[in-house]
Amino acid sequence: MKALYPGSFDPLTLGHLDLIERGASLVDELVVAVLQNPGKSPAFSLEQRLRQITASTEHLGNVSVISFDGLTVACAKEQGTRLILRGLRAMSDFEYELQIAHTNRSLAPEFETVFLTTSAHYSFLSSSVVKEVARFGGAIDHMVPRVVAEDLARFFNSAFAPPSR
């Protein structure tokens, strides 16, 4: 069985990585699909996000990392999977994710969405929370893989460096 785990992953958090590891233990192959959304301005380029996820999942032999744009169901079809993996942190996520799952089923009824709940100690994490903490110099080592923490430090140091005189 093969599953697709789509998302923007800007940046990858330990909550995402937890879902990747747990999802990979349930299927023969897990494809992490990084969305390139032209409507958003990500902190990291698509190439950086692909590199971060690849480095963070190299210990998992059945995980591959790709990029896509457009509909998730189109990507899933292209990858030859009918199973879409999504994570839930809180009840508020459920309403949104259920709507997306129903939309995907309306577009392609052969697809199933499987939800995994985030481990409790990662339930507070979101990419936007991580970026906010990093922006103001807070510790993020317990929120993201090392490669992401290093990239965030570089991003915010360069983005918010005082002008040189």
Catalytic residue positions?
16, 40, 89, 127
Q: Quick one: tokens of 135?
A: 């922006």
Q: What is the distance between the alpha carbons of residues 57 and 39, in angstroms, rounded to a whole number?
A: 27
Instruction: Yes or no: say if 47 and 159 are a contact pair by the CB < 8 Å rule.
Output: no
Question: DSSP secondary structure string, 63-90?
Answer: EEEEEE-S-HHHHHHHHT--EEEEEESS
* Cis before 11? omega within 30: yes
Instruction: Yes or no: say if 115 and 88 are a contact pair by the CB < 8 Å rule.
Output: yes
